[in-house]
Amino acid sequence: MFGLSALALKFALFGGVLALVFAAGLRLENQLCEGKHAAEQQRAVAEAVATQKRFDDIALEAAHQEATQQRAVADSTAAQLLQVKRHVQNNPRCVTFGFVRVLDAATHGVLAETLSLPAGKSDAACTKLTANDLANAIVTNYGAARANAEQLNALIAVLRAMHQAR
């Protein structure tokens, strides 16, 4: 039969079966590796989702706390502005341009000399501002500064909580 001996035919048949078994083993090993990789990937995704959830919860709580603190600062500032009318009396003495210039410079973080005076006015000249106007401006600025401080405190708290959640 085609010039092959029975022994050669058996070896060829055995070799074919062996090749099929080897290919099936490789396929099975590949499927096992893919399954292991998929399980590891699912575990990593679940861990990342859980970490993100913890961070989201921390950020949400911090946002609520910061909103409460901002509202308290705004309420306090509004109450203080109402107090200006009660406690700051306009008096015949004036608010000078020099005084206003120093406060404006402090607000902008520069020296008073960098802010110009109105034409023909000196530091000793009187402005049209009243003590009430001045007190209102100062209280408003203090309120804004406290609000910024609360924002920074909230940010620090979030960063600390996220660092501890790791």
3-state DSSP call for residue 35?
A: helix
Looking at per-residue pLDDT, the higher value among 145 and 18 belongs to 145
Asked whether residue 152 is domain-assigned, the answer is yes
Residue 119: per-residue pLDDT: 94
Residue 88: per-residue pLDDT: 52
Q: What is the dihedral of CA 90, 93, 98, 99, to 10 degrees?
A: -40
Domain that holds residue 71: 35-90+130-165
C-alpha span between 105 and 97 (Å, rounded): 12
Residue 90: per-residue pLDDT: 63
3-state DSSP call for residue 3?
A: coil
* Number of structural domains the chain divides into: 1
- Contact present, 114 and 105 (Cβ < 8 Å): yes
Asked whether residue 111 is domain-assigned, the answer is no
Q: Each residue of 29-44: pLDDT tens digit? A: 777 777 777 778 888 8
∠ CA(110), CA(115), CA(119), 5° rounding? 175
Name the pTM for this structure. Answer: 0.51
